[in-house]
Every structure is written in C-alpha cells, then in structure tokens.
Amino acid sequence: MDYEQCPRCKRQRETTEFFNDRGRRLKTCQFCRNRSKEWNHRNVQRCRYTAKRYYYANHNRCKKLNREYQKIYSQENPVKIRMTNMVSHGRIYDTRRGFYNANNHIDRPFIEQLLHDLEGKCVYCQKEMNINSQTESRDKLLMTIERIDNTLNHSKSNCTLCCFNCNSTRANRYSFEDFLMMKYPIW
C-alpha cells in the first residue's frame, strides 16, 4: 500500500484518495476535498462576495492579460482559430434553427480533411483559398464552409469548403450541381 502526504492537511493518506471517481489525479486527499465542498456550501454568499471583490479589484489587469493571450494565440494558430470559428458558427446557426445534431455535425478534423482533399482550393472556382483568420473579414478568397443543400444542417455529408465570394454568390440562387457546372466563376 502506497502512501502520500496531502499538501493541505499534511497527513499521510493512501494514494487512492488522491484520485476522483473518473480516475483523474487530484492535488488534495478526499477528506480535504469533502471538507472544502462543505465549507463552500455553507458559505455561498461569502464565496460570491470574494469572487466579485477579486473581479473588481483585478478587472483591468485580467482583461489586459486575456487580450495579450488572445493576441499571441491568434498569431501562433490562425488556421486552427479559423476552423474552430467555422465549426462554432455552424453549431450556433443550426441550434437557432433547430437543426443541430451532435453526432453528425462538422468538426475541426473534418474540415482539415476537406482542406487536404481539396488541396486548399475552392470547390467551385479552383482558386487558392486564404485560410488565415487575420485577414480582412470580407476577403474574397477567405475559406468558408458551404452547405450543399441550404435547407439541411451543417452535417459532414452536407458540407464542403469554398471561398467567401463563391459562397455568397451561390447563396440560395443556384443549386450545388448547377453552380459547380459553371465553367467560370461569376466574379
């Protein structure tokens, strides 16, 4: 039987007490966690007051740190951010219209695979798409997710990638097949 010292109560406890029911390793023993939960439950108003005080005291500093983090993260991962935004906007759109299906909804690996299959080119005009989220939001060649049938949700079987201009030009005016068969892009 292995024993470990809890950093909070400084007692020697069995190693199994440092894991939760899902098998995740935790810092404190089960006894300290339960005691902490009980105290928080008894002192809900005090905890809320402390959290508010901290927020108001450090509001500007926290905002500044968050902005700096977002700036660094967006510079390091512009493609990842663009794909994540496409997935989340599709989810929001589908949820508002009652279309959302979590089992078949698009995700980042699916978009990465589509991008690889299309070799970074628009499915309609075959021009190289811009996948950098730092560019102007109305960039004609900005990569967008396109629903083949606009009456359906953003499912994996109903989506492909195209540039912003082809996506906005097609809209509901043309079917996917008709727009695909056009020899030259409209713009």
Tell me, yes or no, whether 117 and 165 share the same domain: yes
Mean pLDDT, consecutive 10-residue segments, the chain of 187 residues?
86 85 81 89 88 86 85 79 88 90 90 92 90 69 90 92 89 84 61
Provide the pLDDT for residue 1: 72
Asked if 95 contacts 141 with a C-beta cutoff of 8 angstroms, the reply is no
Tell me the sheet residues that pair with 121: 128
Provide the pLDDT for residue 155: 93
CA 31/CA 24 separation, integer angstroms? 16
Q: Report the run of H or E that residue 159 belongs to, with start and end.
A: strand 159-163
Which positions ≥6 away from 136 have C-beta within 8 Å?
Answer: 142
Tell me, yes or no, whether 101 and 37 share the same domain: no
- Total structural domains in the chain? 2
Provide the pLDDT for residue 171: 83
Does residue 58 sit within a domain? yes
Provide the pLDDT for residue 105: 92
| Of the candidates 86, 69, 80, 160, the residue with the CA atom closest to the CA atom of residue 123 | 160
Tell me, yes or no, whether 97 and 170 share the same domain: yes
* Residue 165, domain CATH: 3.30.40.220
Does residue 141 sit within a domain? yes
Name the pTM for this structure: 0.60
Tell me the sheet residues that pair with 142: 130
Structure-token pair, residue 101: 């299906």
Last residue of one domain, picked from the residues 76, 111, 137: 76
Tell me, yes or no, whether 151 and 168 share the same domain: yes
Does residue 23 sit within a domain? no
> In terms of residue numbers, what domain contains 59?
29-76
Sign of the CA dihedral 33, 39, 42, 44? negative
Tell me, yes or no, whether 66 and 82 share the same domain: no
Structure-token pair, residue 35: 């005691």
